[in-house]
Amino acid sequence: MSESFGALLKEWRGQRRMSQLDLGVAAEVSARHISFLETGRARPSQAMVLQLSETLEIPRTVRNRLLHAAGFSGAYESRDLGNEELEYVNAAMNWTLERHDPFPAISFDRHWRVLRTNASATALLTNMEVSQGDSLLDAFAEPGPLRDAIENWTEVARHLIARLRTESAHLGGDPVLDAAIARLSDSLGSDKSDYQGSLPAVITANYRTNGMTLKFFSTISQFGSAEDIAIADIKIELMFPADAGTRAALMAQFG
């Protein structure tokens, strides 16, 4: 049985906690027309499907489903990173990773599978038995070298859970991310301790490696104008030293 455009639209409007009036105002369409689209009394144009999808920030894979449900071909492809069309995307990704040395930088997909690393990140992750193609979700969620190396595991795990919940909610729910959330929650057990006093300026991840502790905070980058499904899902995490000792150690090794 084919999917109904109206049912999909209503489902995603609910995911984004928007009323028909909210969506209509944001998309510059009457609430009455939104109602007609959801009940099937009106049929959307291709431009309307794309306009509503953009307003609702619907992932591109689901936008294709909405287009198909409305009787149109999918508009979004998922190209391999080796595709010639992505030459400049690959160059930009490599430039970003390489220029971030001597500090670690990692690119990964929507399910946190490692795509590329710079020299600093390669060294850090190798010590924790993580390499290109591996799942960072598995490395964080299961007992092993990576988790064992994080001195402030409870703090990091709570932060990861919150981050993954946000990512999953944006996607309308994702089984892989949701499973990782459950495993991370299990890892905390009964440890529900909270901060005493004010929260820190940033949450750091403190890695014990080679006899020293390296402390990092991160920023996340994405391709803001990407319309390709795979490229839109890529994230680049840039890790920065959170103290002078970490900075000095990395500068000495990779500077």
Domain 5-69 has CATH 1.10.260.40: yes
Rounded average pLDDT over 90-119 = 96
Which token pair is 85?
Answer: 């069309």
Is 130:209 a contact under the CB 8 Å cutoff? no
Instruction: Considering the domain delimited by 84-254, tell me its CATH architecture.
Output: 2-Layer Sandwich (3.30)
Rounded average pLDDT over 133-144 = 94
Residue 198 has a pLDDT of 61
> Taking the domains of the chain in order of start, what are their residue ranges?
5-69, 84-254
Residue 202 has a pLDDT of 83
E strand intervals along the chain: 105-108, 114-117, 205-209, 212-222, 235-241
**41-75, pLDDT tens digit by residue?**
999 999 999 999 999 999 999 999 999 999 999 99
Q: Is the pLDDT of residue 13 over 50?
A: yes
Average pLDDT of the chain is: 92
Give the model's confidence band at 142: pLDDT under 50 very low, under 70 low, under 90 confident, else very high: very high
Answer left, alpha or beta for residue 142, where phi above 0 means left and psi between -120 and 50 means alpha: beta
- Better pLDDT: 191 or 10: 10
Rounded average pLDDT over 76-89 = 89
Phi, psi for residue 240 in degrees, rounded to 5: -120, 145
**152-170, pLDDT tens digit by residue?**
999 999 999 999 999 999 9
